[in-house]
Amino acid sequence: MRRLLLPVLALALLVAGAAPATGGTEAESYVQVVEKEWSLVMSRLSVRAGRVTIEAVNFGTDAHDLVVQSKAKGSKPVKFKQMDPRGRTERTLRLPAGRYALWCSLPGHKAKGMKATLTVRA
């Protein structure tokens, strides 16, 4: 049962818009998200679909985290671990084309402006 769950989960995430990318020689895109009070600034606004390494870097004085979610219906969010000031974290995801919302999920941070949209091009 467990063996069946993993491929089903991967398929579900793919459908939802984001999947952890496994290793390979496929070309990889990168985008860095600089977080500080109260903004998310991305190194680029769009990337090519496929393996995308998203790196969050905390340039602020508060703790922050990052959530990435496709704007497609039924998608599930991918949460990055929380970072202290000067901390960073990254994840490599397989992103199909579409628009993705990014935000800091700590209380009140998104409302104050810590949000952005990443476009993934076909």
Partner 1 sequence: MAELPRYRGPFGVPQAERLLWRAGFGPRRGEAAQLAKLGLDAAVLSLTRPAGEKWVGPTPRDDKGRRLAPGDAWGHDHLWWLDRMVRTSRPLVERMTLNWHDWFATSNSGVGSQQLMMAQNRLLRRYSLGSFRKLLIAITANPAMLLWLSGTENTKDAPNENYGRELMELFTLGEGNGYTERDVREQARALTGWTYRWKRGKGATDFRFDPKRHDTGMKVIFGKKGTFSWRDSVALTLQHPKHAPFFVEKLWSYFVPEPPSASTRAGLEALYRDSFEVRPVLEAILRHPALYTGPRMVKPPVVYTAGLLRGLGRGVDTSSWVWLSENAGQRLFYPPNVAGWDDERWLDTNSFQGRWGIANTALEKFILGEKKRKSVKVPNDPEAIVKGALALLGNPTIRPETHKELLSFARGSLAGATGWKAEAYPPLVANAVRQLLAVSPDLQTC
- Interface residues toward partner 1, by CB under 8 A: 28, 30-32, 34, 36, 39-45, 53, 55, 57, 59, 88, 102, 113, 115-118
Three-state DSSP at 114 gives coil
> Smallest gap, in angstroms, from Cβ of residue 45 to partner 1?
6
Report the b/e string of 5-23 with b at 16+ CB within 10 A.
Answer: eeeeeeeebeebbbbebee
Token pair 């974290």 is at which residue?
A: 89
Q: For partner 1, which is the closer residue by CB, 39 or 105?
A: 39
Closest approach of Cβ 16 to partner 1, in Å?
22
CB of 102 to partner 1, least distance (A): 8
Pick between residue 15 and residue 53 the one whose CB is nearest to partner 1. 53
Residue 114 amino acid letter = M
- Residue whose C-alpha is closest to residue 74's, from 12, 118, 8: 12
Whose Cβ is closer to partner 1: residue 5's or residue 44's?
Answer: 44
